Every structure is written in structure tokens, then in C-alpha cells.
Amino acid sequence: MLRRLVGVKGLVVRGARFESHGVEVEVRPRQRRARCGECGRPCPGYDTAASRLWRHLSLGRTVFWLRYAPRRVQCREHGVRVERVPWAAHDSHFTREFEKMTAWLAQRMDKTATCRLMGINWRTVGTLVQRLVTARLDPARLEELYVIGVDELSFRRHHEYVTVVVDHLKKRVVWVGEGKGEKTLQQFFDELGKERSQALTHVTMDLGAAYRAAVEARAPQAQKVFDRFHVQKLANEALDTVRRQEAGLLGGTAEGQALKRSRWALLKNPWNLTQRQGQKLSEVARTNRRLYRAWLLKESLAKGLSYHQPLRAEQHLDGWAQWASRSKLKPFVKLSKTLRRFKHCILAYISTGLSNGLVEGLNNKIRLITRSAFGFHSAKALTAMIHLCCGGIPLTPPLPVLA
């Protein structure tokens, strides 16, 4: 009965006892022949290590543990190693079933719920996910890539970065690298190789020079595409520069103080404003015409980028660039030049149909994971979590079976 409750193949149950932390089930591998923990090759025995516990799944409120004193073997290649056990990965203190269940939950639930349900902390979840992803990452994910997107994400309160590459057609993450910028993306192209790099048709990215340089060097045939969010981000930055300049000119006056506090009212979409923010915005419209003009420019650009017909978008962007260049607002004059220079890359975003919601959905999901990853100790754990949740890794967890 215990063997069926434990539900792990390849082991023999020898006994069990209740302890304060749950039920300890004494087990041993069914196969008598000891194997190297590293390579799985049958090896002669060396000695027996102290008995160890592996955390297994719970039954109701009772935690199950597997207890076994593993043998140490003398491997021809690896020297003295602890033997392989059928219920757990080498060096893990958790059974495979436990790890699979944790990963399946982490794919679907938030951080707190996963930790509470499995009774482990978030760092441990990170370690388990890392081990599972290393073993199960699909090596074919870099095949048949045509339309990809590159983006950098900050984590650990903006001190560290990862670069994420998504396959826009299959809507999944295919590569994650530590760091940001040209060098990191070069590593992706190294892994992709020359032939597959030359099959790329479109690459979406931000307007910075770093990724552009890497793509021009390694996949010069690919159309560079600048997506809406990165263009809009530049407009938001221009608007914020104008606000700070105007507040600086007004100094410590009441008007200047009011501008200092109007940041969010200006940056948010008008339909998301709270009543107070709406009041702030109408105050800006009344008292500061330069800043209000900057706000109108930001909103107008957002409209231009939301068109689905390339021709209408082009007309709007042309008109916008003219308006911005005559606006007498330096940051927007500069932005109008950038927009003119890269107009074809911005219009490509609309004409390729990449402006649809599915791509945005994937990006939002990655951002959400990055935010919840603050507790992770390394970029490796975050990388694994992104692969797990957005890389399409299929998992079959030990869920209850109803006949």
C-alpha cells in the first residue's frame, strides 16, 4: 500500500515511521546493481554513505519523505560518486515528482501560492526550476526562426539585466542571455550560427544602437522593426524632460512645485487618470502652454502608432514629425529627427501585423515574471523561470487520477 501511495517506479519500500516532520518511508532502488550518479554507468561499489532524506509530495497535511543510505561507487570516468537513485536527480534533496509538481505550479500560479502549497521558499523554487529547465529545454527551439524580437529586461531593482529573444511566429521565448547590449546579442547569433541567422526576415527591437549594430553585423538581410512601446517610451522621456525643464525655470514658485508633482498625470493614458490627476492635467493646460503642447504631442504619437493600416499610420507620422519639428521643444525636435530617420522600421511594425495583441501578451508575461523574480539570487534562476513559463516546456505533473 505504501509503495502505491508513494507512486514512484523503480523502488522497493522496506518500512515506514511517523516523525514530527511527516512520514519517513524507508526505500531502496529495485535494481541491485549500483550506477554512477553522474553518468548512470554500472560501477563497482566503494562504500555506503550516511542515510539521507528526499522530500516527496504530501498526502493531505502529511509530508512524505524517502529515506535511504546510498552507496558510493567507483566510476571509471568520475571517480568516487554517490550512486544514482531512480526517484531523484543527482544532488537533489527533492524527488522528481516533487520537482515536477513545483515547476507545474510555478508555470501557472503566483509566487506566494506556489511557496505555500509546496512548503518551500522562492529561492528553492528557483533552484528546482533551473535544474528541470536545463534537462528539458527543447534543443529545436532555434530551428525555423524567421521573425524574432529582442528586448532587455532589468531585474534586482535595475542592477542586472537579461536579454530575451522571442519567436514571434510561435509566440514563445527561444533564448535568454545574461546582460544587455551588443555583446549579449552576439552570443545569441553565435549559438544560432551563420545559416540560421541568414534565414531571419524581421527583428523587432528598441531604437538603441546596441542591438541594431549586432543585427546589422550578423543578420544584415533582416528588416529591423521598432515596436510601438519603445517608440512611445521615447516620447514619454521627451515629455518628462520638458516637464523638468519647465519646473526648473519656474523654480520654487507654487506653479513650479505643481509641475514637479504632475509627472504621472502627464505620462498616464488619459482614460486611466484618477480625478486628481485629471485636475492636474487641466491645470497644466491652463497655466503652461509649452508643457501642454508636449503632452499633446505624446498623445498624438500614441494615436499614430495604433493604426493598423500602414498608409494611415505613415500619413499620421509624417504630420506628427512636421508638427514636432516646429514645436520649439528641443526633446521633441530631436525625436522628430529620430522618427524620420527610422520611419521605415516603425512602419514595418504595423505592416507586418506584429502590432497585434498576442506579441504584447507575451511581453507582458515576461515582465510579470521578472518583477516576481526579485527574490532570485541569480540571472540563471530568472532565465530558467522565463524559459519555463514562456518557452513552451510541457510538463505532466503527478495530479490526482479520477477513474
Task: By CB under 5 A, name the binding residues for Zn ion.
Answer: 36, 38-39, 75, 77-78
Distances (CA, A) of 237 to 240, 242, 327: 5, 9, 16
Asked if 357 and 207 count as a contact pair (C-beta separation under 8 A), the reply is: no
Among residues 74 and 351, whose Cβ is nearest to Zn ion?
74
Among residues 77 and 110, whose Cβ is nearest to Zn ion?
77
For residue 398, the minimal CB distance to Zn ion (Å) is 29
Asked if 6 and 56 count as a contact pair (C-beta separation under 8 A), the reply is: yes
For residue 53, the minimal CB distance to Zn ion (Å) is 24
Nearest Cα to Cα of residue 332 among 347, 344, 320:
320
Count Cα neighbours of 131 within 13 Å in the Cβ-side half-sphere.
19
Other CB atoms closer than 10 Å to residue 30's CB: what's the count?
Answer: 10
Q: Where are the beta strands (DSSP E) in 20-156?
A: 22-29, 45-48, 52-59, 62-68, 71-75, 79-82, 147-155
Among residues 85 and 345, whose Cβ is nearest to Zn ion?
85
For residue 76, the minimal CB distance to Zn ion (Å) is 7
Distances (CA, A) of 369 to 68, 131, 294: 37, 18, 33
Calculate Rg over the CA atoms of the chain.
28
Helix axes 96-108, 122-136, angle to 10 degrees: 100
Nearest Cα to Cα of residue 341 among 358, 376, 317, 357:
317
Among residues 76 and 289, whose Cβ is nearest to Zn ion?
76
Among residues 77 and 144, whose Cβ is nearest to Zn ion?
77
The alpha carbon of 122 is separated from its chain's Cα centroid by a whole number of angstroms, namely 16
For residue 211, the minimal CB distance to Zn ion (Å) is 42
For residue 136, the minimal CB distance to Zn ion (Å) is 22
Among residues 56 and 71, whose Cβ is nearest to Zn ion?
71
Asked if 265 and 281 count as a contact pair (C-beta separation under 8 A), the reply is: yes
Nearest Cα to Cα of residue 221 among 184, 192, 183, 194:
194
Among residues 92 and 124, whose Cβ is nearest to Zn ion?
92
**At residue 213, what are phi and psi to the nearest 5 degrees?**
-60, -45
Q: State the amino acid at position 46 in one-letter form.
A: Y
Among residues 45 and 119, whose Cβ is nearest to Zn ion?
45
Cell 521605415: give the residue. Answer: 344
Give me the residue whose beta carbon is nearest to Zn ion. Answer: 36
Asked if 339 and 317 count as a contact pair (C-beta separation under 8 A), the reply is: yes
Other CB atoms closer than 10 Å to residue 24's CB: what's the count?
Answer: 19
State the Cα–Cα distance between residues 389 and 400, nearest whole angstrom: 23
Among residues 92 and 325, whose Cβ is nearest to Zn ion?
92
Long-range pairs, 31-34, Cβ under 8 A, ≥24:
31/86, 34/71, 34/73, 34/83
For residue 119, the minimal CB distance to Zn ion (Å) is 33
Among residues 43 and 192, whose Cβ is nearest to Zn ion?
43
For residue 83, the minimal CB distance to Zn ion (Å) is 10
For residue 69, the minimal CB distance to Zn ion (Å) is 20
For residue 73, the minimal CB distance to Zn ion (Å) is 8
Residue 271 DSSP label: G
For residue 72, the minimal CB distance to Zn ion (Å) is 12
